[in-house]
Chains A and B, each alone.
Chain A
Amino acid sequence: MDTALNPNHIRFLLDGALWTLVLSLMAFVGGGLGGFAVAMGRIAPSRIIRIVVTGYVQLVQGTPLLVIMFVTYFGLPTLGFSISPMFAAGLSMTIYVSAYLGEIWRGAIESVPRAQWEAAECLAMSRAQRMFKVILPQAIRIATPPTVGFSVQIIKNTSLASVVGFVELTRAGQLVNNSIFEPFTIYLIVAGLYFCLCFPVSLLSRRLERTGSARARNLEALSA
């Protein structure tokens, strides 16, 4: 039995890193769509929609992602749905990310000065026109740095998918370790790979934050 770390192991870990990336993208796309719906629901004119969506956000934010994974992967099959680890992980991440991104985006939308809504209203624009032509373009600028920052959390949190048997980077590390038992080396490599995935994103986030805060100052001066 081969007990030393060899290129095959490294390839296996890199494969895992690729799946981490795939799951992160799924989470970002799914969570992004869900998050947009959450943001819209949180500021909806209808009280009932606001209450329901706020409840959803509270529920998800008050639940560990790990438990959400358990509920989808182990719970849904008991209701007769058969689901793959990947689907369970993607669904759980989508649920989790949509609650957080939704709140980040709601904050960004609400930080566009009230007067901008009024100005658009006075031009006889409909609610949808005001939202899409006036408010969202400004909110997107405000929301970009924290959104990119949160993407780092998404990448790191995909490691929890290892518990439902989805072979992403962490699970790949566990599997390699099970065969050669060199935990220190292997998990250092795993940590290094996570860092390589996250660092460029957090770098981007910091850069956006710098340029963004300059923009925000301009915006403030404008509406003062």
Chain B
Amino acid sequence: MSIVVLDNVKKSFGAVKVLHGVSFSVAKGQVMALIGASGSGKSTALRCIDRLEQIDSGRIEVCGHQVADPGLDLRKLRLDVGMVFQSYNLFPHLTIEQNIMLGPVSVKRIPRPEAKGIAAEVLAKVGLADKVTAYPEQLSGGQQQRAAIARSLAMQPKVMLFDEVTSALDPKLTGEVLRVIEELARTGMTMIMVTHEMNFARRIADKIVFMHEGKVHEQGGPEILTAPATPELRDFVSNEL
């Protein structure tokens, strides 16, 4: 059963057409890697799924929500969808624990002691159990990104979106973040990740969607990365590896 469906999605920014009819779907528990060159529209497609951008036409359905519906209660959508950004976007004025508790306490009205327990649990999952009282600026990029993943996890989303979450990190820090995501994949979390880490995508993704010039150009299992059907994907893979 598909938990995320994009059907002929089109999106322009002013005169610039970014998505020219994108369609794909993700089943529950599936890990999908969205790949493609810069400017191919993959980040925009991801942002449309969480309605950070509104689409011009087409249909997006996420966990039963009609995302493009102007009357949609965005907060209901976002309770089901978690998002992790390239630039972490932790709240700099709050400690790591406060960052994580903010959603559960203020949105889900979970009592503080219980939320503290959730924070401890998700921080342990990402290997940051000792950083409860630290402020984001005291952490390395990799630690901040893991904390951001924990913050998203604490809301217990049904789908998680990762937008080039390791692009700002060096290889060592990238490794520690990818291990956390891999662990998460193993728990059965449905995930869509925009990534440039081809080896990682091949290892953990059930499904690869290759975008080219605002369209899904090729999609399939991880094997398409080793045996691409289209010359564009072949080109792209040989440049990335």
B91 — which chain A residues lie within 8 A by C-beta?
Answer: 116, 119-120, 134, 138
Contact of B107 (CB < 8 Å), options: A118, A124, A223: A124
Asked whether any CB of chain A lies closer than 8 Å to the CB of B236, the reply is no
Which residue from chain A places its CB closest to the CB of B106 in the assembled complex?
A129
A223 — which chain B residues lie within 8 A by C-beta?
Answer: 87, 89
Asked whether any CB of chain B lies closer than 8 Å to the CB of A218, the reply is yes
Q: For the complex formed, measure the closest distance between the CB of B82 and the CB atoms of chain A, giving whole angstroms.
A: 7
> Is A218's CB under 8 angstroms from B103's CB?
no
> Is B155's CB under 8 angstroms from A124's CB?
yes
A123 and B148 CA atoms in complex are apart in Å by 11
Contact of A124 (CB < 8 Å), options: B79, B87, B93: B79
Which bucket holds chain A's interface residue count? Answer: 20 to 34
A53 and B107 CA atoms in complex are apart in Å by 31
> Is B87's CB under 8 angstroms from A224's CB?
yes
B75 — which chain A residues lie within 8 A by C-beta?
Answer: 124-126
Q: For the complex formed, measure the closest distance between the CB of B117 and the CB atoms of chain A, giving whole angstroms.
A: 18
**What would be 11 A-B contacts, judged by CB atoms less than 8 Å apart?**
A113-B89, A115-B85, A115-B87, A116-B91, A120-B91, A122-B78, A122-B152, A123-B102, A125-B102, A129-B107, A141-B93
Which 10 pairs, one residue from A and one from B, show the smallest C-beta to C-beta distance?
Answer: A119-B89, A123-B103, A124-B78, A122-B83, A124-B75, A137-B93, A115-B89, A124-B79, A124-B107, A218-B137
Asked whether any CB of chain A lies closer than 8 Å to the CB of B32, the reply is no
Q: For the complex formed, measure the closest distance between the CB of B151 and the CB atoms of chain A, giving whole angstroms.
A: 7
Which bucket holds chain B's interface residue count? Answer: 20 to 34
Known: A123-B151, A124-B79. A133 touches B89 (CB 8 A): no
Q: Which residues of B contact A (CB under 8 A)?
A: 50, 52, 74-76, 78-79, 81-83, 85, 87-93, 102-103, 106-107, 136-137, 151-152, 155
A106 and B11 CA atoms in complex are apart in Å by 31
User: Which DSSP category, helix, strand, loop or mixed, fits chain A's interface?
Assistant: helix
Chain B CB count within 10 A is highest, among A115, A123, A126, A219, for A123
Asked whether any CB of chain B lies closer than 8 Å to the CB of A110, the reply is no
> Is B78's CB under 8 angstroms from A123's CB?
yes
Known: A119-B85, A119-B89. A125 touches B107 (CB 8 A): yes
Q: Which of A137-193 contact B (CB under 8 A)?
A: 137-138, 141
Known: A138-B92, A223-B87. A123 touches B155 (CB 8 A): yes
A119 — which chain B residues lie within 8 A by C-beta?
Answer: 83, 85, 89-91
Asked whether any CB of chain B lies closer than 8 Å to the CB of A222, the reply is yes
> Is B93's CB under 8 angstroms from A138's CB?
yes
A94 and B191 CA atoms in complex are apart in Å by 53
A218 — which chain B residues lie within 8 A by C-beta?
Answer: 92, 137
